Amino acid sequence: MATINYLRISVVDRCNFQCQYCMPAGAAMSYPPPADWLTREELRQLLSQVFVPLGFSRFRLTGGEPLLRPDIGEITADIAQMPGTQDLAISTNGFLLAAKAQALWQAGLRRLNISLDSLDPLVFQQLTGGRDRWQQVWQGILVAHEMGFAPLKLNVVVIPGVNDQEVLDLAALSRDRPWHIRFIEFMPIGNDQLFAERGWIDSAQLRQQIRHHWGLEPAQVQGNGPADVFQIPGALGTVGFISQMSECFCDRCNRLRLSADGWLRPCLLNQTGQIDLKTPLRQGVALNWLRQQVADLLQAKPAINYTMRQSGATGGYDRTMAQIGG
Ligand code: SAM
Ligand code: SF4
Residue 236 counted as domain residue: yes
Provide the residue range defining the domain that includes 187.
Answer: 6-324
| pLDDT 10s digits, 171-183 | 999 999 999 999 9
Going by pLDDT thresholds of 50, 70 and 90, the confidence category of residue 115 is very high
Q: Is the CB of 62 under 6 A from ligand 1?
A: yes
Average pLDDT over residues 8-24: 93
CA–CA separation, 112 vs 149, rounded Å? Answer: 7
| pLDDT 10s digits, 214-237 | 999 999 877 777 899 999 999 999
Looking at ligand 1, which residue's alpha carbon is closest to its atom 19?
Answer: 22
Residue 309 counted as domain residue: yes
Percent of the chain topping pLDDT 90: 76
Residues with CB under 6 A from ligand 2: 15, 17-19, 22-23, 63-65, 93, 115, 321-322
Average pLDDT over residues 104-113: 98
Q: How many domains does the chain have?
A: 1
Average model confidence (pLDDT) across the chain? 92
Residue 273 near residue 266 (C-beta atoms within 8 A): yes
Residue 264 counted as domain residue: yes
The answer to whether residue 263 scores a pLDDT higher than 80 is yes
Q: Percentage helix, strand, coil, to 5, in the chain?
A: 40, 20, 45
CATH of the domain at 60: 3.20.20.70
CA of 296 to the centre of ligand 2 (A): 31
| pLDDT 10s digits, 75-90 | 999 999 999 999 999 9
Residue 267 near residue 304 (C-beta atoms within 8 A): yes
CA of 254 to the centre of ligand 1 (A): 18
**71 DSSP 8-state letter:** T
Closest CA to 96 of 40, 15, 23: 15
Residue 319 counted as domain residue: yes
Residue 1 counted as domain residue: no
CA–CA separation, 208 vs 58, rounded Å? Answer: 32
Average pLDDT over residues 286-306: 91
Residue 65 near residue 15 (C-beta atoms within 8 A): yes
CA–CA separation, 132 vs 117, rounded Å? Answer: 14
Q: What is the best residue among 93, 126, 257 to mutate for testing ligand 2's pocket, by most ligand atoms within 8 Å of CB?
A: 93
Residue 40 counted as domain residue: yes
CA of 229 to the centre of ligand 1 (A): 19
Average pLDDT over residues 182-208: 92
Residue 63 counted as domain residue: yes
Instruction: List the single range of 153-167, 265-279, 285-299 with lowest mean pLDDT.
Output: 265-279
Q: Phi-psi category of 280—alpha, beta or left, where left has phi over 0 and alpha has psi -120 to 50? A: alpha
Residue 144 counted as domain residue: yes
Length of the chain: 326
Predicted confidence at residue 1, as pLDDT, reads: 67
Predicted confidence at residue 42, as pLDDT, reads: 98
Predicted confidence at residue 24, as pLDDT, reads: 77
- Find residue 275's DSSP bridge partners: 264
| Cα–Cα distances in angstroms (integers) from residue 169 to residues 101, 117, 166, 190, 274, in the given order | 26, 11, 5, 29, 40
Against a cut of 0.85, is the pTM above it?
A: yes
